[in-house]
A = this chain, B = another copy of it.
Amino acid sequence: MLQISHRGQMMPPSPIRKLVPYAEAAKKKGTKVYHLNIGQPDIETPAPMLDAVRHFDFKVLEYSHSAGNESYRRKLADYYAKVGVAVHYNQIIVTTGGSEAILFGFMACLDPGDEVIIPEPFYANYNGFAVEAGVKIVPITSDIRNGFALPPTKDFEAAITPRTKAVVICNPNNPTGYLYNATEMESLKELVIKHDLYLFSDEAYREFCYTGTHTSALHLKDADEHVILMDTISKRYSACGARIGALVTRNKAVLDSVMKFAQARLSPPSFAQIAAEAAVDLPDNYFDTTKAEYESRRDLLVSRLNKMEGVFCPNPGGAFYAMAALPVDDADAFCQWLLESFSHESQTVMLAPASGFYGTSGLGKNEVRLAYVLNKTDIAKAMDCLEAALKVYPGRI
Residues of A within 8 A of B (CB): 1-9, 11-14, 17, 40-45, 49-50, 53-56, 59-64, 66, 96-97, 99-100, 103, 107-112, 114, 125, 128-129, 132-134, 196-198, 225-226, 238-243, 251, 253-254, 257-258, 260-261, 263-272, 275
Contacts and interface: CB of A to CB of B under 8 A. Distances in A.
B241 A14 contact: no
30 contacts: A2-B251, A4-B108, A4-B253, A4-B257, A5-B107, A5-B110, A5-B257, A6-B111, A7-B112, A7-B133, A8-B108, A9-B257, A11-B107, A11-B108, A14-B263, A41-B60, A43-B60, A44-B59, A49-B61, A50-B61, A54-B54, A54-B56, A63-B240, A63-B241, A96-B265, A103-B265, A129-B264, A242-B271, A243-B270, A271-B271
A2 B260 CA distance: 19
A266 B240 contact: yes
Contacts of A268: 243
Copies of this chain, complex-wide, total: 2
B17 A45 contact: no
B125 A264 contact: yes
A67 to B, nearest CB: 11
Contacts of A64: 241
Contacts of A270: 241-243, 272
Contact of A269 (B13, B43, B242, B263): B242
A79 B64 CA distance: 27
Contact of A60 (B5, B44, B110, B257): B44
Contacts of A55: 54
A6 B108 CA distance: 8
A111 B7 contact: yes
Main secondary structure, interface of A, reads: loop
B269 A61 contact: no
B132 A134 contact: no
Contacts of A3: 253
A350 B294 CA distance: 53
B261 A243 contact: no
A128 B265 CA distance: 9
A90 to B, nearest CB: 14
Contacts of A265: 96-97, 99-100, 103, 125, 128
A329 to B, nearest CB: 28
A24 to B, nearest CB: 13
A188 to B, nearest CB: 15
B45 A59 contact: yes
A254 B4 contact: yes
Given A132-B107, A269-B269, A272-B269, A257 B97 contact: no
A251 B4 CA distance: 10
Nearest to A14: B263
A56 B114 CA distance: 45
A264 B11 contact: yes
Contact of A243 (B5, B109, B239, B267): B267
A132 B5 contact: no
B5 A111 contact: yes
